[in-house]
Structure 1
Amino acid sequence: MPVPSVPTKKKLEILHFYEEQGYSIAYTCRHFNVSPSAFKLWRKQYERYGVKGLQTHGVQRKYTQEQKKVAVQDYLSGKYSQLETILQYDISSTAVLRRWVNKYTSHGKVTRDQKGQGVSMTQGRKTTLSERLEITLQCIALNKNYQKIANEFNVSYNQVYQWVKKYEVGGEAALKDRRGLGKLEEDLSPEERMKIELKAKEKENQRLKAELALLKKPRGIRKEAILSRLRLEDQYLAIREVHGDDGFPIQLLCEEAGVVRSSYYKWLDREVTKEEKLNQELLSEIRKLHKKHKGIYGYRRMKMVLERKFNRTFNHKRIYRLMKLAGIQSVIRRKRKRYQKTTPTHVAENILNRQFVAEEPNEKWVTDVTEFKYGSSSKAYLSAIRDLFDGSIIAYVLGRSNNNALVFETLEKALQEEPNVTPILHSDRGFQYTSPRFKEMTEKAGITPSMSRVGRCIDNSPIESFWGALKCEKYYLNTYETFTELEQAIDEYINFYNNERLQERLNGLSPIEFRAKAV
């Protein structure tokens, strides 16, 4: 089936695409579904003759006998390749040149098969030195009838032609097969031996330098490779960088990196996938959120915020990997100080018993007091009550002294915020919670008191968890010179915690959003 001709306009489009976009010949040919040989021919025709050289001739062109003979002789002598010959003598195609060569080498007598096509030339074969000598001498005796000798001895025309040419220059010794071999070691002169040794040392030095350069590069660009998650991309990136910076050959770099050269070129031609582009967008957004919230978002909360923004789900491992890639992590909580044991006055049983899940709002509350420092040596104390249903802070009071009034005021504010409720109120065995006044307040409000066991702070872990989040995500990130600055910061954070801080266990909602849906 004949190959359809390509219009001149299409050829120009392909050539301009190659020149302007900077792609390789292989990629350009695959993109436009053309053969590399045809593409190279168009390039040379365009460089030599311009647009005229790309035009397809509508009628059969004619050549004189002398033109054909000169073109064939220049090709057979090795002066030009097939492509160079047709460009030099303005021949329409390489197929025409091959037909002329076939006729010329057979002395104008080209046999035809039943379909009228020319019979292909005999393929070359391996020969011994005695065979080559016999063939050469007979060819010279027959006035250099290369085609006849080639057919008679079942070798190619080119083999016979080259043997005769070598014999005329160097005699029988020139017919020895020395392909891939240099001079024998005993035939080398001292200068030649020295040159060979120097060349070997230079090659080894170049290999060692390339190996050292490759070892240095991946550490600096490995993050880019992880972002795309392509196998061996860190090696490909290193090869590209080293080749561009130091000019080492691609083949040498591929050998040192342990990759196939064709795989490297295939990687060069690849296009960035949609997932890689999305990773770039996610990474950019992660950096913005990390800066905006001063590093308090871990990968779980970052995942929920990103899912809201992009309106799609992401695997938490993906967000974790991207944050690790960017060197981003949430603020790490510090160890809490150990507190001395106290002797309580009115002690309640551990009714909560670490059952921290509540089925409805105001079913289970937890409370505690924590300490803050500001200025040079001043201290402040925060008392808060947290609802276990949604984790929201029901009430809180910040004071300058850790006394009974601080805890009593907190409970009063909680009962004002949520009147007519009778929750379980769990606390530790601090002196405020075991005082007679606190016991009286809980009994009057119908609240069931519950207290942690001695030395078991985990019994009240939900409120301890909130203290850790508050201090890690807000308090430790700043310094506070006055009580007012500290109070303002705590107000801001608790408002953020209740209304904006998304939680995975609340289906990606904030505590107040979750509470509103339940009411």
Structure 2
Amino acid sequence: MAKSKFSAQEKLEVIQAYEKGNFSIKEVIEQYQISLSTFKDWRNKYNHLGLEGLQPSKSWTTYLKETKLQAVHDYLSGKYSLAEIIIRYGISSQSVLGTWIKQYNGQKDVKTTGKRVNRPMTKGRTTKLEERIFIARDCMENNKDYQGIAERYNVSYQQVHQWTKKYEEGGEDALRDRRGRVKPEAELTSEEKTALQMKKLEKDNERLRAENALLKKLEGNRKEARINQVRAEDTYLAIEEIHQSEHLSISLLCDVADIARSAYYKWKNRTPTENEQLNQTILVEMNELHQKVEGIYGYRRMTMNMRRVFQMPLNEKRIYRLMVIAGLQSMIRRKKKQYGKSNPQHIAENVLNREFTADQPNEKWVTDVTEFKYGSAHKAYLSAILDLHDGSIVSYVLSTTNNNPLVFETLNQATQAFPDAAPLLHSDRGFQYTSHGFKRLLQKAEIEPSMSRVGKFIDNGPMESFWGTLKCEKYYLHKYKTFDELQQAIDDYIHFYNHERLQKRLNDLTPMEYRSKAA
């Protein structure tokens, strides 16, 4: 092990320099060129073990597997700090304990630290079958003294170890050199070349299938709350599903996912921890209680009940996470979200003044945003511009967020569809329409703004009337589970409204027919 450049007495002088009040911690570690963690480690050992704790180790320290696991479990329980644990178990430094914790969390096997063996650096050499058999037998007869046998026959330690192992498992035949000579490409026949190319293509196609399948499984996946805390579990699950459905090898899938095959099998064969088993039991109790009270308990009241059932302290965050996993949700009334008031940046007069007729297309436009719901509790927002000449929808955008880009994109679509138009555009006083960005877009397109008076939604009557027509004739007639279903329904209705829906005020024509006639 590396020799410390500080003796026990020098370490004591560093500690006393701080404790006497002559220097701050920062000044001490800078003057003696040590890290903060090293200084804290020395102080800890001195406070608990005295000067003996500062003595450098003179030999390679051996730690049993049980000691390592107990130290890691004590740290993960949260009851002890790193400093307390290294004193408790006589660990040489915090970095050693940190390495054990990383191995444990990374699902690597924590093994007993063995004593170092000084193995000879003899290079391996070429041997014949008879010689390998003789060396393997001699090694077994001498209680597997690999080091002594390697020195005696001038071969490497690794060679002796491998030959002995193979001889034990497969006898003399296992020690044969089965490495074959690969034909150079110039010596291959045309049939062999074709077969080789086909084999390479099949291998490439199989890898491509594996890459595409993994990408589809993992693309867009969000980290979800789980009972266990295994990292990369989404990848392990994807590998397992693809192996079963696509019949691709585990080795190939692990290689594509950049995961060790041993790590996958360790995950597959792992035993749930005590915490995970407790979580599973809690989930069963919570499901039963949720059914009993007809879903009226939220996570706080659920936590109180679980504490009483299990007679142990349970954190609210833990119960909340388990409720998310189980899909348990309180059915009581939710608090409405409070929105802060915003001051409008740019306000325009009510230039339109409820004059809802226009002699020519693109003379007067009105615009607004309305809300839709889909799925269990999701919201979508539709922004549209309507031409008062024929009532046609000039442009529209559906989004999951009600923000400035939603309104800006609606206006950009309208100006791109009619680049020469310079209409009057009327809206309410929503935050998007009073923003600096919207004013700049209007000025760039030479569009005159007009805004409704405060609380006078009738000033934008035609747009409000269209929202009511859309919802009565389409939205309220169906249930929409996804955003895509809602988008398709709105696309279909607006096309129907513009091109197929006859209107009496337009002389029994559709808006687009009336528009083309005026043009």
**How does the TM-score come out when normalised to structure 2?**
0.34
Task: Please identify the structure whose Cα radius of gyration is greater.
Answer: 1
**How does the TM-score come out when normalised to structure 1?**
0.34
